[in-house]
Amino acid sequence: MTKTNIKRNILLNPGPSTTTDSVKFAQVVPDICPREKEFGSLMKGLREDLVKIVHGDLEEYTSVLFCGSGTINIDVCINSLVPEGKKVLVVNNGAYSTRAVEVCQYYGLSHIDLKFPVDEIPDLSVVEETLKQNPDIALVHTTHNETGTGILNPIREIGALAHKYGAIFTVDTTSTYAMRPINVHEDNIDFCMASAQKGLMAFTGLSFVVGRTSIIEKSKEYPKRSYYCNLYMQYDFFERTGEMHFTPPVQTIYATLEALKEYWAEGEEAKWARHTRVFNAINDGLDELGFRQVIKPEWRAGLVSSAIYPDDPNWDFEKVHDYCYERGFTIYPGKISTTNTFRLCALGAIDEQDIRDFFVVFKEALKEFNIVTPVVYNK
Ligand SMILES: *Cc1c(COP(=O)(O)O)cnc(C)c1O
């Protein structure tokens, strides 16, 4: 196998993230049929590692793999874990929880879309009141780090409320898993989820749900609302055969195994410290240039910065994006309907020097397009 030099791009978008060369090259393997025992044995270790990352007890928690992008997990959890005639409560302050509401709509599930402003954390007394008023709520769902803005939601408290009122708690941890430490026991999480291309720093195509085995087994009796995306069916097939029900993303799995090796080598604490360094460097850079952000500092999840477009008539996100992109740095538009924003994210195999290098290029771009710095806002 010849390894050529691959250009290193710094991805500041909210995933997929910058990967190491060793993870990139781990995809280049001899062809193998995934129904071979050799491949099955790889997946067993992989499934256990995915539980260990969130400190789940293997006696109580399992992981179930799917071939798809991260949204498949939201679809799977919501369509599979609601008993007949019961209701879903979505604690919603952003684009990704809205996605869960849309999943409810598409499956015709009875649900409450409990909306809060995108730049505020949910009011727990309203969550509790809703649970009290609706004893038929069987599943409470929210998003840990709302990637559209970068706000951190109080999952531990929401989970405690869900349990107090007899509901299970599913959390979209796609943009925190393997970055910001999570402990499923302490954080009151019954189900969480992620995909390989974000915190694990591998590739798209592999997504997974980590959750309570007893609840999955109970869900055998629940209505089957999807053929491909049913949690119990996928879990059961794995348990009986050690394989995914349908063809797995073979090469992505090899890359994920290498990424896991690198995850354990770096360590949970050191990795989170590195993401924090990157995040601080991003905020320092934005502050220095006078950019305002959507989320106040104490509510930020520490992984996504949402900067508000300045009111400078010369500001043109596309032009600034293209200038940076041509020089190896990818920045990303926001996901808020009310405010024009762009995002800089601290995911991936990058460190603070990469952010300093980025701001050199970013400043050049602002100068090139005659955008005044510090940037101006009308009010
Ligand atoms: C990235 C992400 C997803 C998955 O998005 P895909 O485009 O399907 O990969 C889901 N939830 C959150 C919070 C995310 O950040």
For residue 75 and ligand 1, the question of a CB distance below 6 A is answered with: no
The span from the CA of 364 to the CA of 92, in Å, is 38
- How many beta carbons lie within 10 A of that of residue 66, not counting itself? 26
| Omega prior to 374 cis, within 30 of 0 | yes
Q: Which residue's C-alpha comes closest to atom 12 of ligand 1?
A: 174
For residue 149 and ligand 1, the question of a CB distance below 6 A is answered with: no
The span from the CA of 162 to the CA of 141, in Å, is 9
Q: What pLDDT score does 3 carry?
A: 62
The span from the CA of 343 to the CA of 114, in Å, is 25
Contact 255, 24 (CB under 8 A): yes
Question: pTM score, two decimals?
Answer: 0.97
Ligand 1 midpoint to CA 86 (Å): 26
For residue 226 and ligand 1, the question of a CB distance below 6 A is answered with: no
Pick the atom of ligand 1 nearest to 175's CA. 15
Q: Which residue's C-alpha comes closest to atom 11 of ligand 1?
A: 174
Q: What pLDDT score does 379 carry?
A: 85
Q: What is the pLDDT along the chain (379 residues), one digit of tens a residue?
A: 556 789 999 999 999 999 999 999 999 999 999 999 999 889 999 999 999 999 999 999 999 999 999 999 999 999 999 999 999 999 999 999 999 999 999 999 999 999 999 999 999 999 999 999 999 999 999 999 999 999 999 999 999 999 999 999 999 999 999 999 999 999 999 999 999 999 999 999 999 999 999 999 999 999 999 999 999 999 999 999 998 999 999 999 999 999 999 999 999 999 999 999 999 999 999 999 999 999 999 999 999 999 999 999 999 999 999 999 999 999 998 878 788 999 999 999 999 999 999 999 999 999 999 999 999 999 8
Ligand 1 midpoint to CA 255 (Å): 19
The span from the CA of 9 to the CA of 354, in Å, is 10
Pocket-testing residue among 11, 66, 71, 152, ligand 1, by greatest number of atoms within 8 A of Cβ: 71
- For residue 167, which phi and psi values (nearest 5 degrees)? -105, 160
Contact 54, 215 (CB under 8 A): no
